[in-house]
Structure 1
Amino acid sequence: MTTSNRHYVLAAGGTGGHLLPAFALADELERRGHHVALITDERGAQIPGKPDFMPAHVLPAGRFGKNPLQWIKGLMAVLEGRKMALRLFESFQPSAVVGFGGYPSLPAILASTSADIPTVVHEQNAVLGRVNRLLSGRVQAIATAYPDVQRLKPAHRGKVHLVGNPVRAQVLNLREEPFPPYGEDGLLRVLVTGGSQGARVLSEVVPDGLAMLPPAIRQRLQVTQQCRPEDLDAVRERYRNHGIPAELATYFEDMAARLADAHLFIGRAGASTIAELTAVGRPAILIPLPIATDDHQAFNAREMAKAGGARMIRQENFEAKELAKQIRVLADDPQGLSNAAHAAWNCGRPKAVEDLADLVESFGGADMMDVIRVGGNNARGATQGQVAGQGAKKLSAKRESAE
């Protein structure tokens, strides 16, 4: 698809889960010849992986917790951020603004919708997040990573475009690689991670669960596990006592290569984790984070589990004996493990970043853009995108009213 050079603003919360898909979209839009700017908070500006060509604008966002006394302070921060976003839009003249959720995206989306700039939100999880839920009635399109998204109002389903969750190029490049050979006499390589900081429950349960496997399986184990810094020595001692070879670290720079070699993944069910597992096709035992907002990690895991690519264990049931039971079922059946890998692969959406970029490009584009279809829905960009020019004319007026 050939389009004219345009400007886009991406707004994302200050966590990797929100920002990594934004970075992937920025790379794709820049490859297509567009200019891209990022709006986030101070924490988000420090997340590794931001493309060098994309300037980051740090705006106040505010947070709205359980304490009502903090709401006024949060609201004032959001309003200040909205004014700053309007000033940025006046100079940058974006054809569209794309929100990836999180409180730091709120001021930018409030500014873009008030200025009639076409706006898209991308939801990485299987439950519509709080900010995206709040704004879903004001935006032109809702891009989703799952076919079934909870907390989405029926009135807004016509805006939904199933695109998937963009993943890193290093991971996506592994999609056509075969599942590592696994037989009854070969190594069983297990990869264990618990998010950016590890998960203590995995450090406590996984070593003992692996130790409960029959000797014929236990002797073939090769474990790679990410741990919190304070847990490393204790976990290393557990594996040593069990006689299980394990490589432990707080962070693995070559995580894509580790995933490529793995026969089985054990860990949380964050959106980025699920996207990478399904992109590569790796069977998993998933333990959703019990305190995740709206229990979204459990909903994230359901599609993969229903397809046969994963087994989900709730944390209250995540004990060494149960883990050993689930691993043994998979390890005793090489063909079954391979089938689970293929089931996970079938859940992947490898064209997520391209489909999301197509959707975003459809706003502010020429009439020919109306033929674009994403996830079975017409992108409707030709008609909706026409408001981009109108919105630019309204920015000064909106900014003055905001101030």
Structure 2
Amino acid sequence: MNFVLAAGGTGGHMVPAHALAAELKSRGHGVLLITDARGARFPGLFQDVPVHILPAGRLGGGPIGMAKAALSVLKGRAEAKRLYREHNPDVVVGFGGYPAFPSLLAASAMHIPTVLHEQNAVLGRVNRLLAGDAEAVATAYDQVDRLKPKFLSKTVVVGNPVREEIARLGELPFPPFDDVAPLKLLVTGGSQGASVLSDVVPEGLGLLQQSLRHRLQVVQQCRPDEIERVRGQYAALHIPAELMTYIEDMPEKVGDAHLIIGRAGASTIAELTAAGRPAILIPFPLATDDHQTANAREMTKAGGARTIQQDGFTPEVLARQIEAMAADPIALNNAAARALSVGRPHAARDLADVVERVANGLSPTLSGPALSPRTAAHAPAGGVPA
């Protein structure tokens, strides 16, 4: 069968789409990606998948901005319809974000079934607009805010797809950590970086008890204009640190780490829980609908993470939280196990199952009713059995 994945803008949309693409291709299906210019620039993703860049406007900016966005969406919708006539997709899968909007509108206009995947614990704006016409809504969490009750019958919890290299980490032992072993920290602000981490983390590590501080090994992502300043801070503190502006080998860095300090983006949470790595999470305060705080909820409740709101994220608070988690090796190992307990490492497989079922005109859930006549009529006669 043929599938179109519509995603773009940020790594939070692109990484799970990439993981689903790999799973679908491993099952023998054809996959095509529709994204925007930003999404197409992400390194290491979709290298063996055809990529089409479509215009997509962002809703907002007053009457003029809205008018420009509407024109861009209409243009993208028309281009997507032309593409679908050539590619003939069985299902279009949207991963949220404005770049997915025109692709999904085109699919609905052509009576092509759609599946929405929501990475966050709050249903995003585009997915809220399009959920009514979708055949299935696949979520990353059991609890998703702003998901209307009338859509629960077609909602399936699958998790957030992660790269296979990340999922395999959860099958391996936690890196050895005791009273004398190095404490390896990974500090990451997501695909765009986070200035607050550069401002707070080095000073916070300098306030740690000597028994922990002299054992530190740090890997930190920094914005390009901050990296030299942060490097100087670590050198003054005599803390060995490897700094970079973008982490391309994230599975290797996560695999080596005992503790992660970072934002609470959807992909970050999915990777930490799939790999079984404890974390100190600082949700991005300007995230739409404060969805990063909601993302951190499950992992924190399980005991696999500590959440610190940014307005309370000070060097002193960070130092005390690190000491609370890592001063006792047993406590850190337990936190790792609790993080792993809420992981969904098979999300890509489970989402692919949902997509195949929809393509075959079946309910997205094993116990649900058959899909609408529209979908059943579109479904191929053959194809992969669900």
- Report the TM range for the smaller structure's normalisation: over 0.9
1:14 to partner: Cα distance: 2.4
Counterpart in the other structure of 2:383: none
Distance 1:198 1:52, change over 3 A: closer
TM value normalised by structure 1: 0.90
Measure how far apart 1:92 and its partner are: 1.6
Q: 1:229 maps to what in 2? A: 224
Following superposition, the deviation at residue 339 of structure 1 comes to 0.7
Counterpart CA distance in 1 for 2:359 and 2:232 is 59
1:110 equivalent in structure 2: 105
Q: Percent identity?
A: 56
CA distance in 2, matches of 1:144, 1:138: 16
SS at match of 2:56: coil
Give the structure 2 partner of residue 41 of structure 1.
36
Alignment match, 2:235: 240
d(CA) in 1 for partners of 2:202, 2:379: 59
Tell me which moved more, 136-145 or 112-121. Answer: 112-121
Partner of 1:3: none
SS at match of 2:269: helix
Mapping 1:106-145, distance limit 5 Å: 106-145=101-140
Counterpart CA distance in 2 for 1:382 and 1:135 is 16
- In structure 2, give the amino acid aligned to 1:387: A
Provide the secondary structure at the position in 2 that maps to 1:43.
helix
Equivalent residue, structure 1, for 2:190: 195
Pick which of 86-95 and 162-171 moved more.
Answer: 86-95
Normalised to the residue count of structure 2, the TM-score between the two structures is: 0.94
Q: 1:282 to 1:9 in 2, by over 3 A?
A: same
Query: Within 5 A, what are the aligned runs for 1:235-274?
Result: 235-274=230-269
Cα 1:325/1:131, change in 2 over 3 Å: same
Given that residues 23 and 49 in structure 1 are in contact (C-alpha distance below 8 angstroms), is that contact kept between their aligned partners in structure 2? no
Q: Residues 362 and 380 of structure 1 are in contact (CA less than 8 Å); yes or no, is this contact kept in structure 2? A: no
Contact 1:232–1:248 (Cα < 8 Å) also in 2: yes
| Residue 314 (structure 2) aligns with | 319
Instruction: Note the C-alpha offset of 1:380.
Output: 4.4
Secondary structure of the structure 1 residue equivalent to 2:4: strand
RMSD: 1.8
Q: Give CA-to-partner distance per residue, 1:35-70, whole Å, 9 cap, x none.
A: 111111222222223334421122221111242221
1:17 shift after superposition: 1.2
Residues 361-376 of structure 1 mapped to structure 2, 5 A cutoff: 361-365=356-360, 373=365
1:24 paired to 2:14? no
> Contact 2:185–2:258 (CA<8 Å) still a contact in 1?
yes
- Gaps of at least 5 residues in structure 2 are 381-386
| Aligned counterparts of 2:301 and 2:184: Cα–Cα separation in 1 | 24
Establish whether residue 348 from structure 1 lines up as the match of residue 338 from structure 2. Answer: no
SS at match of 1:72: helix
1:4-403 equivalences in 2 (<5 Å): 6-365=1-360, 373=365, 378=368, 380=370, 385-388=375-378
Q: Is the 8 A contact 2:186 2:260 kept in 1?
A: yes
AA aligned opposite 2:83: L
Structure 1 residue identity aligned to 2:266: A
SS class of match (1:197): coil
* Number of equivalent positions: 380
